[in-house]
């Protein structure tokens, strides 16, 4: 095989992709990871709930992973952006923005998603620092501190219940959206959670650390942390030409073995709709790598 031809190409080199690459490297599979170096958790200062890495930054975890993976010479890392995938008689072709072209028998998508942030002044500067998406990932660091949940019209009671367990100093802000349902109102009232209906004008902060929220009527409220739902843009467009089955919000549908509906193609991590957690991504990548190698072994052994 030449330097452009691999057993497996992995698109995406964050937790899921690098985890799959490690399994494949240890299985003596010539593997290429194509990564553009822009993971969705790049803004986060720390990652949590990942055993042995609790509190490490995503960048640090990635660097440690790359160091470990480079032990396996079968795995190559190509820094670039994959822009096109094609099915051939023997496998797949992946083309990059720079004009490189690589081929492989199997293809793994692990290229994540992008967050479309709320259009609120100051929110972007705080994103991943004190404006957060997940109380499991970061909530412990803000126990009992002034906490706000910004609503966007979607169901929020489950998220509110998790936040309420971390801080009783908790306010729900509707940001001027449609009225809450009777069930939502009843639940918030029963748990003595304050509701602010006024639209938000600005998130007041200092270097990304929330100081408070300024409302459209000129009033303000102090907060140390805010939670908000983001619109998730899954990086599945690259896979559409292969005939993938996608979920309603655009993620790639796969089974428990990370197989998609396209033979020879697998998906893991956030692009497959997995929970937004480094630990979950790494677990999914491990399963994907094992499944790919199992399939390659079986096909060669049985002459399929």
* Euclidean distance between CA atoms 77 and 214, whole angstroms: 46
Strands 225-228 and 231-234: unpaired
Write the pLDDT tens digit of every residue in 187-233: 999 999 999 999 999 999 999 999 999 999 999 999 999 999 989 99
The dihedral sign for the CA sequence 188, 226, 153, 237: negative
Give me the pLDDT at residue 18, please. 97
Write the pLDDT tens digit of every residue in 69-89: 999 999 999 999 999 999 999
Give me the pLDDT at residue 1, please. 40
What is the value of pTM for the model shown? 0.93
* Residue numbers in the chain where pLDDT is lower than 50: 1
Give me the pLDDT at residue 2, please. 53
């Amino acid at each position: 095989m030449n330097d452009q031809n691999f057993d497996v190409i992995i698109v995406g080199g964050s937790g899921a992709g690098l985890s799959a690459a490690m399994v494949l490297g240890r299985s003596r599979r010539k593997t290429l990871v194509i990564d553009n170096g822009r993971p969705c958790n790049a803004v986060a200062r720390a990652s949590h709930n990942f055993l042995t890495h609790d509190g490490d930054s995503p960048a640090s975890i990635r660097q440690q992973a790359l160091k470990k993976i480079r032990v396996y010479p079968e795995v190559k890392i190509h820094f670039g952006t994959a822009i096109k995938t094609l099915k051939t008689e023997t496998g797949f072709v992946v083309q990059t923005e720079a004009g490189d072209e690589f081929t492989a028998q199997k293809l793994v998508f692990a290229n994540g998603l992008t967050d479309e942030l709320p259009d609120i002044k100051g929110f972007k500067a705080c994103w991943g620092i004190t404006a957060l998406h997940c109380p499991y990932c970061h909530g412990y660091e803000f126990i009992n501190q002034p906490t706000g949940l910004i609503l966007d019209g979607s169901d929020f009671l489950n998220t509110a219940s998790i936040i309420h367990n971390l801080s009783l100093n908790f306010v729900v802000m509707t940001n001027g959206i449609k009225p809450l349902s009777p069930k939502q109102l009843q639940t918030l009232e029963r748990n003595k959670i304050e509701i602010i209906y006024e639209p938000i004008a600005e998130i007041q902060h200092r270097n990304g650390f929330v100081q408070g929220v300024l409302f459209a009527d000129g009033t303000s409220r102090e907060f140390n942390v805010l939670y908000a739902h983001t619109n998730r843009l899954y990086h599945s467009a690259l896979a559409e030409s292969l005939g993938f089955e996608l979920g309603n919000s655009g993620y790639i549908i796969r089974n428990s073995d990370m197989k998609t509906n396209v033979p020879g193609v697998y998906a893991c991590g956030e692009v497959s709709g997995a929970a937004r957690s480094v630990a979950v991504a790494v677990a999914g990548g491990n399963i994907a790598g094992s499944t790919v190698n199992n399939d390659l072994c079986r096909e060669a052994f049985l002459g399929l």
